[in-house]
Amino acid sequence: MCYYNGQKVTRAEYIELMKLEKSVMGVQELKRPTVLGPESPPMVVLKPNFDRTDFEITTMRWGFIPSGIRNMELVKKFENGFKREDGTFQTGYDTENARGEELLWINPKTNRPKIFKDAALSNRCLIISHQYYEWHHKYRINKRTGETLKTPDKYPFAIRVKGREYFYMAGIWNTWTDQDTGEVMDTLSMITTDANPLTALIHNSKKRMPTILPDELAWEWMMTNVSPERMTELASFQFPEENMEAFSINQKFQFTGEDPYPVIYPELAEDGLPGSYTTQTSLF
């Protein structure tokens, strides 16, 4: 989930976080209507300095790369999977998202933590977003047999925070070095948590949502030394549904290069999904 994000910040002159301001004018990456996670794009983040006395606006590759992977060729195998010598296929690893409640989880079979542990404890950042996108799944009935079809129809929704031009999602990063070329890059994972009732209704296949943090918790996440227990609490924070709004948008929005726009799907009327044409258009 959460593989598509919106990073188009309207011409706001400053980002303000707990009364600290950083200019965002000229950051071209904040002018993109949609960001496609599978393409490993640069994401705009707030990153604290070493001693957490200040932060900077920078970009990171969306797709967390563990330090132990030697080069980009092996990164592609790690992410996309590969065929083993015996003919079986090794499934790739999705590191664009990291489950907030499992960041410090220890695998009982191997007694080893997840690859995100060290980053969660020391490298926490904030992803800037103006809205994000999820799909609602609806299973149609076969008119001839009366049985439910196995493949659902998918309807995209835009989800945002009420009254905010932008908001903050929890993230973690790892600075990865390609040992063959010497290239160094910061690589990012977006933290997710259980969906609140509104987002669970929309994202009804997995019922997850990004960990969206209000300003005070965003500051605590990024700029303070928190205990492992508190870190997990913050990573699992569920943003209140009453402070969010959502509306259905055009299919294939992620490929148009333009702002998604509201679209009404009559077949969703019985599902109790948020918004009407009047409330949708009033958002713009």
Say if residue 239's pLDDT is above 80.
yes
Of the CA atoms within 13 Å of residue 204, those in its CB half-sphere come to 16
231 phi and psi angles, rounded to 5 deg: -60, -45
Pick the more confident residue, 241 or 269: 241
Say if residue 30's pLDDT is above 90.
no
Q: Taking a C-beta distance cutoff of 8 angstroms, is the pair 79, 91 a contact?
A: no
pLDDT tens column, 82-94: 999 999 999 999 9
Nearby residues of 90 by Cβ (< 8 Å), 6 or more positions away: 77, 81, 82, 83, 84
Per-residue pLDDT band at 203 (split at 50, 70, 90)? very high
The pLDDT mean for the chain works out to 88
Q: Which residues of 95-134 are buried (b: 16+ CB within 10 A; e: fewer)?
A: bbbbbbebbbeeeeeeeeebbbbebbbebbbbbbbbbbbb
Q: How far apart are CA 139 and CA 150, in angstroms?
A: 7
Both tokens of residue 3?
A: 């593989």
Pick the more confident residue, 148 or 135: 135
Listed range (15-24, 118-127, 243-252) with the worst mean pLDDT: 15-24
pLDDT, residue 2, reads: 67
Q: What is the mean pLDDT of residues 18-24?
A: 55
Q: What is the mean pLDDT of residues 27-35?
A: 76
Per-residue pLDDT band at 281 (split at 50, 70, 90)? very low
How is the chain classified by DSSP, letter by letter? ---EEEEE--S-SEEEETTEEEE-TT-GGGEEEEEEGGG--EEEEEEE-TTSS-EEEEEEEES---TT--SHHHHHHHHH-EE-TTS-EEPP---SEEEGGGTT-EETTTTEE-TTHHHHHH-EEEEEESEEEEEEEEPPBPTTT-PBPSSPEEEEEEEEETT-S-EEEEEEEEEEE-TTT--EEEEEEEEEEEPPHHHHHHSTTT-EEE-EE-HHHHHHHHHS---HHHHHHHHT----GGGEEEEEB-TTGGGTSS---B---GGGGGGT-S--HHHHHTT-
Pick the more confident residue, 35 or 126: 126
pLDDT, residue 275, reads: 54
Calculate what percentage of the chain has a pLDDT beyond 70. 88
Q: Taking a C-beta distance cutoff of 8 angstroms, is the pair 99, 113 a contact?
A: no
Say if residue 12's pLDDT is above 50.
no
Pick the more confident residue, 99 or 142: 99
pLDDT tens column, 141-178: 887 888 888 999 999 999 999 999 889 999 999 999 99
Say if residue 277's pLDDT is above 50.
no
Q: How far apart are CA 74 and CA 165, in angstroms?
A: 39
Among the ranges 20-29, 30-39, 85-94, 203-212, which has the highest mean pLDDT value?
Answer: 203-212
pLDDT, residue 208, reads: 98
Q: Taking a C-beta distance cutoff of 8 angstroms, is the pair 75, 84 a contact?
A: no
